[in-house]
Amino acid sequence: MTMKKTLAALAAISILACNDERKAQPEPPSTISVVPPGPSSALAPNAPPPPATTPQVMASVSGTVAETMDAGGYTYIRIKTSDGEKWAAVPQTKLAVGDKVTVANPMVMKSFASPTLKRTFDEILFGTLAGAPPSSPSASSAPSASATARASAAPSASAGPIAKAPGPTGKTVAEIFAGKAALKDKQVSVRGRVVKFNAGILGKNWLHIVDGTGTKAGGDNDLAVTTAAGTAEVGDVVLVRGVLHLDKDFGGGYTYGVIVEDATIEK
């Protein structure tokens, strides 16, 4: 065999080997589906978990009463606002069509079904009328607990550190978040300044407190609290005693990772 033929044969063998190697490799998929991480989507083993749902922040809503009705210890109001008509519910009070109202610190509920009115609201704001004293309707008159609740804390104004609650159960807000696993389902005491208060939602009063510890970026500076009867006003410094619960789901995918429930409130 001449040198020329030998080189040609070696080149042919090399090409065949490359083709065989390519055939042995799996075919790439024709399309790639990218599914964004969500509550039910699988994540890579080393991927960080998706961020928890951030409760919606809702500013006060003002407008003119277009319709009003009383039911179950609440006054339901259809309000004409600059952003269109909105439904709101406040502890029962006397209102008339044409009255100017402001619903303070509203909590948004989606697909809320009122058994007393026998109707479902796509969205309704539960709050208190500005200037009205806090009140707490009985649990029997509260909205259905199956409703989707979005509770939100007002932006925390820095007012300097607040003295830590006394006693063995006394913790700062940041300490509660840091030690939440060990404190789960246990009694805690914490002193803080009220940055949000809502009365009579789901048979409870709701508040958020800060004490100058933790950071907004770290998500450990604002503590949610529920109480059966305690009341407070935004700006009050209060002593809260209650049971720490974790991952409480109030519907619609909105959860509190950390919340103090069944609390007593002292000023």
Tell me the per-residue pLDDT of 165-202, one tens digit each, with 9 for 90 and over: 999 999 999 999 999 999 999 999 999 999 988 887 77
Alpha carbons within 13 angstroms on the beta-carbon side of residue 230 total 22
For 58, the 3-state DSSP assignment is coil
Distance CA 36, CA 232 (A): 41
Q: 92 or 185: whose pLDDT is higher? A: 185
User: What is the CB neighbour count within 10 angstroms for residue 59?
Assistant: 10
pTM of the model: 0.53
CATH assignment of 173-266, given 2.40.50.140, 3.40.50.300, 1.10.10.10, 3.40.50.150?
2.40.50.140
pLDDT single digits (tens) 99-144: 999 998 788 888 888 877 888 889 888 888 886 654 444 333 344 3
Q: Dihedral, CA atoms, 226, 232, 234, 236, nearest 10 degrees?
A: -110
d(CA 151, CA 110): 12
What does the mean pLDDT of the chain come to? 74
Domains 61-150 and 173-266 fall in the same CATH topology: yes
Rounded-to-integer distance, Cα 163 and Cα 217, Å: 22
The domain locations on the chain are 61-150, 173-266
Question: Does an H or E element contain 10, and which?
Answer: helix 3-24
Contact yes or no for 40/241 (Cβ under 8 A):
no
Q: Cα–Cα–Cα angle for 201, 247, 109, nearest 5°?
A: 30
Q: Please tell me which residue, 3 or 111, carries the higher pLDDT value.
A: 111
Question: CATH number of the domain at 61-150, out of 1.10.1060, 3.90.550, 1.10.3470, 2.40.50?
Answer: 2.40.50
Query: Rounded CA gap, 193 and 113, in Å?
Result: 33
pLDDT over 90 for what percent of the chain? Answer: 40
Q: How far is CA 187 from the centre of its chain?
A: 23
Q: Which residue has the higher pLDDT, 58 or 128?
A: 128
Q: Give the highest mean pLDDT range of 142-156, 194-208, 242-256.
A: 194-208
